[in-house]
Structure 1
Amino acid sequence: MTQSEEIVTQEGVSQKALESVFLYNRDMEVSYRSYISDPKKLEIRLSHPDASQLVTFQMIFVLQGTVRLNQSGGGDYCKQVDQHQHNIYRTSFKSSQMLVDAADDVICINISPAFVDRFLPGDHIAYQRLWLEDQSKNPFPLSEVNMQISPEISAILQRLGNAKHSAFSDQLLLESKAIELFALQISQFEQMQMNKAEPKLKALEVERMHQAREILIAQTGNQLSLRALAHLVGTNEFNLKRDFKAVFGKTVYAYLNQHKMEQAKTMLMEEDITVAETSKKMGYKHATHFTNAFKKYFGFLPNKIKTGKLSMLLFLEDFVAFLESFNSVAI
């Protein structure tokens, strides 16, 4: 996993680096620069030592802030990924640039064309979109409408953010999680294609659903009725249930349950906390109710994590997934 240590410096440019750019495409290099006129903005450029390599793909996840992707040298063509959104972009080494704010919370995983070829069949709609459509436009998105970061994706990103880039085990973890994130992105894209026939929501309705999502997450451990949530975002219960599912692909309660379970799993794996304490933080009055919900969602009891047995199992699964992908390349 190579990453350029040389930071591009030119007149009017200062040195700056970004931590959460992961290179699954091992031969690629990344460089950064920020301009004195606007030191908060960080420009990211990609390069490849092989001149025949013209494009790469970027899995972009924005937890906070905004990412803008432009064609180098100006022009009107510009794409943007906002907070709590993600997408996959085909970008050109020579004609694409990515702009972020230095304070933004963004994770970008760069994957090679071979990665896309290996995991997507040629007749898949995502493959055709990424490889065959509008070759004149780079950067080019998988989905014209950015996808929403789900609790499952958020939990994986949180684990990646805590990884040490230099550790060999963390490199294995990154590569296995890159495959998992890629699968989740493709799955969400497929779902969006199936929902295209449904009437589109107005911008205000979409904004209200994002507000509802923020309230759900902020009040994870509190009891909140659908009627109360609808009132907080200025709509009614019927519209809340319909519009929330249209935006996020899940009912309000299904989304909240997924968020609770993923957060609980992360807390149990990474924090010094008991199952009972986790249950209370997730808003359960009785630990047995939490335990049953956890087992129903994951298929195992939460105390398996605290014994250390599950952590080893999860790592072994990650390692096996990496070896399988590695062997498929070797063959």
Structure 2
Amino acid sequence: MTPKGEELTQKGEIPLIFELKRKITASFSAQDDISSAQNSSTKILKMIFVLKGTLTICGLHSKKPLGILTDQQHNLIINSEDLVWKTDHKDHEIFCLDIDLFFLERYLPVEHLGLLNLKKGLETNQLAMFSPQNLHINPEIVTILNNLKTSNHTGFCERLFLEAKVLELLMFQSSQFEHLSENAELRQLKEDEMNRMLAVKEILVNHIDNPFSLRHLAHMVGTNEFNLKRNFKIAFGTTVYGYLNQYKMEMAKTMLLAKNITIAEIANKMGYTYPTHFSNAFKKYFGYLPNKLKSGKLSVLIFRGLENF
């Protein structure tokens, strides 16, 4: 992801990864339309994560949108000099990572449908997306993006860190794409139903310390409890409270890594009456207690693992 004027360039024998002239930032420039032609070849792929706002992809000589990504959506596309990216809102947060097609081919089977979609677009010189339907950002993806934004690795360690994070993101994109491909219901979820589920998700993350009941949530978005449970599972691959727990644990982990907040304070923010209840939930989710992470004893196993070498 780049602010105005910042370029992404490739470097090194491994055809991954990209090098940034400045630290990865959280959003595109809000002042101007964004052109995707930033010294990139037609074989460069862009992982796009729209955390806030709307990103429209148009042809260079056409005003008709070729693709649109909105709040909390992500996808992987073939980049082209004939594409122009436009943001519709000044208040937006869009994260973009460049990778090479050869890198993708190293990790995905040749018959993978997402890879075939991209190759077909490359052959026909048309906009190609990994998934025909945009995928939805989950709490684990948000954690990875936050770690990319705040990473202070340099040199060889930075390359290892970036490659590891891109592989994690690719894993989530592939997993969600397979879930989408295998579930006809998800492809048939109507736009208004999907919007209700997105609204439920927003309510959940804004009230993590005091969550509403399923019945209350359903009424808040204009549906019933049965449809809420069914459609939320279709949209996000987990239950309502399963998603909430995932979000809380990932947020708690990010807070612990900051090292300027106590476990008791985090437990309170996550809605736990007793820190021990939070610690037990954290261990059940991650496999280790939060105090181990807080003390740095697990530093080699977590996102900032290379810092201690």
Task: Please tell me the TM-score bracket, short chain as reference.
Answer: 0.7 to 0.9
Task: Select the residue among 22, 35, 49 that pairs with 1:43.
Answer: 35
Report the 3-state secondary structure (helix = DSSP H, G, I; strand = E; otherwise coil) of the residue aligned with 1:115.
Answer: helix
Q: Which range moved further: 286-295 or 252-261?
A: 286-295
Q: Which is richer in strand?
A: 1
Report the 3-state secondary structure (helix = DSSP H, G, I; strand = E; otherwise coil) of the residue aligned with 1:223.
Answer: coil
How far apart are the structure 1 equivalents of 2:136 and 2:298? 29
- TM-score when normalising by structure 2: 0.85
Task: Provide Cα deviations, 1:234-273, integer angstroms capped at 9, x if missing partner.
Answer: 1111111011111111110111110011001001012411
Give the aligned partner of residue 84 of structure 2: 97
Give the aligned partner of residue 262 of structure 2: 274
Give the aligned partner of residue 328 of structure 1: none
Task: Select the residue among 234, 242, 257 that pairs with 2:245.
Answer: 257
Task: Provide Cα deviations, 1:35-85, integer angstroms capped at 9, x if missing partner.
Answer: 9xx94433332324xxxx532111100111111222223263511111100
Task: Select the residue among 286, 290, 293 that pairs with 1:298.
Answer: 286
Change (3 A) 1:167 1:264: farther
Task: Select the residue among 277, 287, 297 that pairs with 2:275.
Answer: 287
Once the two structures are TM-superposed, the CA of residue 174 in structure 1 deviates from its matched residue by 2.0
Once the two structures are TM-superposed, the CA of residue 137 in structure 1 deviates from its matched residue by 4.8
Give the aligned partner of residue 111 of structure 2: 123
Once the two structures are TM-superposed, the CA of residue 136 in structure 1 deviates from its matched residue by 2.3
How far apart are the structure 2 equivalents of 1:18 and 1:219? 37
Contact persistence 1:226–1:237 (CA under 8 A): yes
How far apart are the structure 1 equivalents of 2:273 and 2:151? 33
Report the 3-state secondary structure (helix = DSSP H, G, I; strand = E; otherwise coil) of the residue aligned with 1:45.
Answer: coil
How far apart are the structure 2 equivalents of 1:102 and 1:199? 31
Unmatched 5+ stretches in structure 2: 11-15, 22-27
What is the number of residues matched between the two proteins?
Answer: 295
How far apart are the structure 2 equivalents of 1:71 and 1:136? 14
How far apart are the structure 2 equivalents of 1:28 and 1:309? 31
The higher radius of gyration belongs to 1
Report the 3-state secondary structure (helix = DSSP H, G, I; strand = E; otherwise coil) of the residue aligned with 1:309.
Answer: coil
Q: Percent identity of the aligned residues? A: 40
How far apart are the structure 2 equivalents of 1:55 and 1:118? 14
How far apart are the structure 2 equivalents of 1:102 and 1:18? 19
How far apart are the structure 2 equivalents of 1:205 and 1:179? 31
Unmatched 5+ stretches in structure 1: 5-14, 320-331
Give the aligned partner of residue 126 of structure 2: 138
Report the 3-state secondary structure (helix = DSSP H, G, I; strand = E; otherwise coil) of the residue aligned with 2:248.
Answer: helix
Task: Select the residue among 187, 203, 213 that pairs with 1:215.
Answer: 203
Give 2:131's aligned amino acid: S
**RMSD of Structure 2 on Structure 1 (CA):** 3.0
Change (3 A) 1:90 1:150: same
How far apart are the structure 1 equivalents of 2:168 and 2:45? 16
Contact persistence 1:40–1:103 (CA under 8 A): no
Contact persistence 2:78–2:122 (CA under 8 A): no
